[in-house]
Every structure is written in C-alpha cells, then in structure tokens.
C-alpha cells in the first residue's frame, strides 16, 4: 500500500503551473513588505500577462508586486494606493492599466468577505460623493449604506515566515499585513515561506492561517530586489 502524505510542499515550477495569462491574481504585501519575492520573480520569468491584480498597493518600481506592474503584466488593478510606484501612475494615465481605488479598510474588508463566503459589505465612506454613483444602496436602522461586493481571486500568492507541511502559517510581525486575508480569498492559494517544518512542530497558539486555506507551499529563495526608480 502506498503511503499517503498530506504535504503541500511543491517545486516553484509546480506552483507556477497555476499562474496563467488573464487570471485574477491577489497578492499579500504592504509596500513590498510581506510580498513573496520568489513567486513574483517566477511569474515574471514565466511571462504571465494580462493579469487582473488585487492587493493593498503596487509596491515600489522594482520591489514587491511593483516588479509585475513595472513590466506591464497587469491589465487591471484593484488597490488602495499606488503612490510609491510612479510606473503604476504612468501606466494608469496612459490607459495601459485600469485602476480601481478603495480606502484601505474597505479593500481589506472586501477581501475578508470573499474569504468568509459573504456576498459583500456595507460601507458609508463616500456617501454623498461621486463614489456612490451606480452603487446599490440599502438602509439599516435608518442609515444608508452602499453595497460593496466581496473580492475573490483565481490565485492568491502569500508570504509567511514559517509553515508546516500541511500549510499552517506563522507570519513575521508587520509582514503579516494582507497575507492572511489573501490566503482565504483565492480559489488556489500558493504560499512562499522562509522555513518549512514537519507537522506538529508549530505552536498552535501562534498559527494565524490554518492549513485548510493553503493549497501549495514553496521554499523561498530569499529577496533579490534592487531599488530602481527609472
């Protein structure tokens, strides 16, 4: 009888097989911190394009998800800000990147709602402005809200400090940021980690993302970014 394994550890090539042109790709990270460098590098080398990107920001020109944006691999972008990556602004004004902005808290909640299986959230930020144009509205206890649909993705790429073979994840301080939300909201979640340990070696009280949300794990090859402002 063949011995069964619950290990979700795969090679980078096996993980990248799920990254195809035109997919909706959600990513963790906050200004580059907590972005998965090996996965991003692999996506660049694979040549995946026309990606519909969802994440907190666009990193820097050559750091984090900014590398994909700078290379023109994005078709659309849902985010909270792009100010740290001038290439994102340039592509947006040139009509080469369709950008939709949300307040950071609203974006986080839309992703969380997607991960929890909710249809959306109710927000009042922007009521009385152009933001509410075309939005469905509901009244709750006499107050009006806009309905913001939940966000999900075909693939989510996440960065964690440590994982066991089943995909239970521990993050490193502020590098946690959007990663736990992204891990829940994608059909396929790929996690890049600094350290992979056998099952049972993680402190259960320190686990932030349960392995049930994780499909594949790859070993990080480390950060190999340089600052590039051109």
Please name the helix (run of DSSP H) or strand (run of DSSP E) that holds residue 138, with its range, or none. strand 137-140
Among 6, 25, 59, 23, smallest CA distance to 190 is for: 25
Q: Tell me if the pTM is above 0.85.
A: yes
> Residue 227: its pLDDT value, please?
38
Residue 23 and residue 16 in contact, taking contact as beta carbons nearer than 8 Å: no
For the chain, 230 residues long, give each residue's pLDDT as a single digit of tens: 445 568 999 999 999 999 999 999 999 999 989 999 999 999 999 999 999 999 999 999 999 999 999 999 999 999 999 999 999 999 999 999 999 999 999 999 999 999 999 999 999 998 989 988 999 999 999 999 999 999 999 999 999 999 999 999 999 999 999 999 999 999 999 999 999 999 999 999 999 999 999 999 999 998 644 433 33
> Residue 6: its pLDDT value, please?
82
Structural domains for the chain: 12-219 (3.40.1080.10)
Among 109, 112, 88, smallest CA distance to 100 is for: 88
> Residue 223: its pLDDT value, please?
66
**Residue 35: alpha-carbon gap to chain centroid:** 8
86 φ/ψ angles, rounded to the nearest 5 degrees: -60, -25
Among 140, 141, 180, smallest CA distance to 29 is for: 180
> Residue 222: its pLDDT value, please?
80
17 φ/ψ angles, rounded to the nearest 5 degrees: -60, -20
Please name the helix (run of DSSP H) or strand (run of DSSP E) that holds residue 120, with its range, or none. strand 120-123
């Amino acid at each position: 009888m063949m011995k069964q394994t619950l290990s979700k550890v795969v090679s980078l090539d096996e993980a990248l097989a799920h990254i195809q042109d035109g997919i909706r790709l959600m990513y963790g990270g906050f200004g580059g911190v907590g972005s998965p460098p090996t996965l991003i590098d692999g996506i660049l080398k694979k040549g995946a394009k026309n990606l519909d990107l969802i994440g907190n920001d666009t990193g820097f020109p050559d750091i984090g998800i900014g590398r994909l944006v700078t290379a023109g691999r994005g078709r659309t972008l849902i985010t909270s800000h792009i100010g740290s990556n001038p290439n994102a602004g340039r592509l947006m004004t040139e009509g080469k990147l369709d950008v939709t902005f949300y307040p950071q808290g609203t974006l986080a909640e839309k992703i969380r709602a997607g991960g929890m299986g909710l249809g959306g959230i109710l927000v009042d930020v922007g009521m009385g402005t152009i933001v509410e144009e075309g939005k469905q509205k509901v009244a709750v206890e006499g107050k009006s809200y806009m309905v913001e649909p939940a966000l999900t993705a075909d693939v989510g790429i996440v960065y964690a400090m440590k994982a066991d073979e089943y995909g239970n994840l521990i993050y490193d301080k502020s590098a946690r940021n959007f990663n736990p939300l992204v891990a829940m909201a994608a059909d396929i979640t790929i996690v890049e980690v600094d350290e992979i340990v056998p099952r049972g070696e993680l402190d259960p009280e320190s686990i932030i993302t349960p392995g049930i949300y994780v499909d594949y794990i790859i070993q990080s090859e480390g950060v190999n970014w340089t600052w590039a402002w051109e």
